[in-house]
Amino acid sequence: MEVGIAKVWQRWKILARRALLPISSLLVVLILWQTWSFFVPAYLVPSPRQVASLLVGLAASPDFVQQVGVSCYRIGVGFVGSAFAGIIVGLAMGYLTAVRRLAEPLLLLFQSIPSVCWALLAILWFGLSDMTPIFVVFSVGFPIMLTNTWEGTKHVDRDLAAMARSFHFTRIAIVRKIVVPSVLSYVFAGARLAFGFGWRISILAEALGATRGVGYKIMTAADLARTDQVFAWTLTIVAFMMLAEYLIFRPLERRFGRWRHV
């Protein structure tokens, strides 16, 4: 019994130690924010308490759920599409010379075009529709996922794959046991970058060319000089980014991380 309690207590200490630095950094940000609000008018820099009170009121309204849901749908569709296409093309570039020679100039083209240009082009092509932010998110995320996946294929142990073939492993088994575990860490790194950039560019696209979504609400608040609403909606974005990190990316990475060691 005492051994069990000791193990539980040890785990709690480890968790507390891991959470201490992130919580401390957030507290520092809040303290700096609060201090800043003392010296600047409230209509320019509202206090954390003012923004928190407004955010609670916004979160209780049906409009909040609708606007956040629209933005999540757009970023979700664009991100999943870019991840799927980037992984497939990245793997093909890693193992098919013809695909690599064909795709390299296109990859350079995607990487050279600024995100703002994609947003403006999407507005011209798709107007004030869901396709505008979805297209922008895809255009930004696709080259990131492709590049990371392609880079991952370069770090696959070729000697290990050759040895597996000599032991009559099937292609599916080689891909599952050697290729995928080697590429996974690069895919997750790319997914984090693509999702983060996707959120930011999606908000920009919604601000410039949408009639719904978090970006649209931020632009509307800015037009009305409601800085407190701008802060509140911005904190909403931060909250969803953190939820995605701790509830989606990290659990998936831990789960597939065990696969890499099988």
Q: What is the pLDDT of residue 81?
A: 93
Question: What are the pLDDT digits (tens) for 94-152?
Answer: 878 888 888 888 888 888 888 888 888 888 888 878 888 899 999 989 999 999 988 88
Q: What is the pLDDT of residue 167?
A: 66
Interatomic CA distance for residues 249 and 227, integer angstroms: 32
Cβ neighbours of 242 (radius 10 Å): 12
Report which of 67, 89, 103 is spatially closest to residue 187, judged by C-alpha positions: 89
- Distant-in-sequence, close-in-space partners of 129: CB < 8 Å, separation ≥ 6: 210
Interatomic CA distance for residues 58 and 56, integer angstroms: 5
Residue type, 74: R
Instruction: Report yes or no: 110 and 143 within 8 Å, Cβ to Cβ.
Output: yes
Question: What are the pLDDT digits (tens) for 173-184?
Answer: 766 677 777 788
SS3 243: helix
Phi, psi of 66 (to 5 degrees): -65, -45
- Distant-in-sequence, close-in-space partners of 34: CB < 8 Å, separation ≥ 6: 47, 48
Q: Is the pLDDT of residue 50 over 80?
A: yes
What whole-number percentage of the chain has pLDDT above 90? Answer: 7
Q: At what angle do helices 115-126 and 180-209 cross, to 10 degrees?
A: 60
Confidence of residue 12 (pLDDT cuts 50, 70, 90): low
Averaged confidence pLDDT in the chain: 80
- Distant-in-sequence, close-in-space partners of 16: CB < 8 Å, separation ≥ 6: none
Token pair of 53 as six digits: 């009170």
Confidence of residue 82 (pLDDT cuts 50, 70, 90): very high
Question: What are the pLDDT digits (tens) for 231-251?
Answer: 888 888 888 888 888 888 777
Residue type, 52: A
Instruction: Report yes or no: 221 and 229 within 8 Å, Cβ to Cβ.
Output: yes
pTM above 0.85, yes or no: no
DSSP string, 193-213: HHHHHHHHHHHHHHHHH-SSS
Interatomic CA distance for residues 54 and 261, integer angstroms: 47
Q: Is the pLDDT of residue 17 over 80?
A: no
Output b/e per residue, 58-69; b: 16+ Cβ within 10 A: beeeeebeebbe
Q: What is the pLDDT of residue 84?
A: 92
Q: What is the pLDDT of residue 77?
A: 92
Residue type, 1: M
Dihedral sign from CA coordinates of 221, 115, 132, 130: negative
